[in-house]
Structure 1
């Protein structure tokens, strides 16, 4: 089921809304969210994860409303959240950190510990389970971040710039992992990187100034590029034709 925004508004400063009466759904499958800095992508995902609360409007998943207190725990168990910065907890091992996040999401300690093993296996971190989390590389820490969202068996995982700061090899490993997991989990990935869209994603949403200016299959996104655009430049050209630039 999609994550649905109904008449959502949010502002960090009075009189300057980032989102203003937005109504849209984030589709099933693997979706890439593109847009310039300041377009509202991080705010959109933070609201979807219930990390932020809309000033007005609702964010719902089926009958669960993120704003409604009695629904919040169940909502957060179904929606995983990976912000731009994944923080290691120095005193904990990799497995302990994954289990700890599951416990924070409402699992019992035993259930969180048991599920952490499966989650680490799914992101290929089992061998590093006993290592201190602060000793992980940047790419490994991002994979731990995904494991943290899988411990509580999230149905939808929201990722904000998950490959920022990673080297090309780490980005490749991360993209492969996303492709493997997308058959069982719905992903919404915010990024500035337009390469390899067709290899990973099913849907493209281009977000600009608090509004979606494009939504559709990857092939339709490519078709907005001007005729004669070289194959390797189609994504970049299509994107530049849809947005007005950084806010």
Structure 2
């Protein structure tokens, strides 16, 4: 499994949110950090083939996604959880996750197993027949994570997946992501402790451009004692921001 972005420029209207972005990913967990407006969500939507890039190319497993037909094929291998995902409020949780398996092109005889496995991973088996509208905020977020991992996609894109999760559920989420062997997982988050705990690599974005790409240890080495933060990783992240944004 590999994902390669070459010279990606992306935006809305006349504004570019991402400019000349290059990134090559192999199996493992990549943390995507950056302040609000840095372009993280735009980058994930581009990786998910929801937004064709304005310039540049995306290649999944060496195959360039050069049109809608290629994008539809690629989506069978992509699990994407946006910050705000849509659902039918009257749909049962298990059917919501089975629908994800259908969307990924799994044969019908595998839908139930794929949904059951995903619900086990996010600890929602007891709520499998609950209507989506009756889920708490944390349960709804876990249902979204189950959607993203159902059918074992090889590229998993998660935009702020731990919002609404309590500390126990966040620890469970970390174990879940660490167990997605063989997949490329891109985790966009503001929780630097999650990045420290589970990410093999870190990419820091600022105004649509990467200011850092490397391991968490390499990022932590950029820490400065005079900057705000409770850990080396937090202080290193602050060090990558412009001076006017380093003040709390």
Match in the other structure for 1:223: 221
Q: Mapping of 1:86-235 within 5 angstroms?
A: 86-179=85-178, 181-226=179-224, 232-235=230-233
TM, length-normalised to structure 1:
0.88
CA–CA distance in structure 2, aligned partners of residues 135 and 177 of structure 1: 24
Deviations 1:162-200 (A, max 9, x none): 123444444333333323x23353311011121243321
Q: Structure 2 vs 1, CA of residues 164 and 121 (structure 1 numbering), >3 Å: closer, same or farther? A: closer
CA–CA distance in structure 2, aligned partners of residues 197 and 62 of structure 1: 25
CA–CA distance in structure 1, aligned partners of residues 147 and 228 of structure 2: 40
Say if 2:141 and 2:163, in contact at 8 Å, map to a contact too: no
Unaligned runs of 5+ in 2: none
Unaligned runs of 5+ in 1: none
Query: Does the residue aligned with 2:56 lie in a helix, a strand or coil?
Result: strand
Superposition RMSD in Å: 2.4
Aligned residues between the structures: 244
CA–CA distance in structure 2, aligned partners of residues 184 and 26 of structure 1: 12
Say if 2:83 and 2:160, in contact at 8 Å, map to a contact too: yes
CA–CA distance in structure 2, aligned partners of residues 168 and 119 of structure 1: 20
CA–CA distance in structure 1, aligned partners of residues 226 and 7 of structure 2: 40
CA–CA distance in structure 2, aligned partners of residues 196 and 112 of structure 1: 31
Deviations 1:123-169 (A, max 9, x none): 22222211112222222222222221222320121111112344444
Give the superposition deviation at 1:84.
0.6
Query: Does the residue aligned with 1:106 lie in a helix, a strand or coil?
Result: coil
Query: Does the residue aligned with 1:195 lie in a helix, a strand or coil?
Result: helix
Match in the other structure for 1:4: 4
Deviations 1:57-101 (A, max 9, x none): 211112333333332233111121010123342221111110112
Query: Does the residue aligned with 1:206 lie in a helix, a strand or coil?
Result: strand
Give the superposition deviation at 1:243.
1.9
Which range moves more in the overlay, 95-104 or 230-239?
Answer: 230-239
**Aligned with residue 237 of structure 1, among 219, 235, 238:** 235
TM, length-normalised to structure 2:
0.87
CA–CA distance in structure 1, aligned partners of residues 2 and 211 of structure 2: 19
Q: Structure 2 vs 1, CA of residues 196 and 57 (structure 1 numbering), >3 Å: closer, same or farther? A: closer
Q: Structure 2 vs 1, CA of residues 228 and 9 (structure 1 numbering), >3 Å: closer, same or farther? A: closer
Query: Does the residue aligned with 2:114 lie in a helix, a strand or coil?
Result: helix
Query: Does the residue aligned with 1:6 lie in a helix, a strand or coil?
Result: strand
Match in the other structure for 1:43: 42
